[in-house]
Amino acid sequence: MKISQRAQAITPFLAMEFGKRAAALEAAGHRVIRLNLGGGCQTICRKKL
């Protein structure tokens, strides 16, 4: 797959870099608590309602 120059010029935002670091730490056997934004509330929110 060829990636356009425009797409290649986009710099990764910090959340993605933290995600990569968290994945590396987990792979090395460390426990990681993920505090992701914008997701994962469905089951918790439903229980609260």
d(CA 23, CA 30): 10
Tell me 8's DSSP state. H
d(CA 36, CA 15): 9
Coil/strand/helix, residue 21: helix
Q: What is the pLDDT along the chain (49 residues), one digit of tens a residue?
A: 898 999 888 887 887 888 889 999 999 999 998 876 655 555 555 555 5
d(CA 34, CA 22): 8
> Residue 32's closest CA among 14, 42, 19, 15?
19
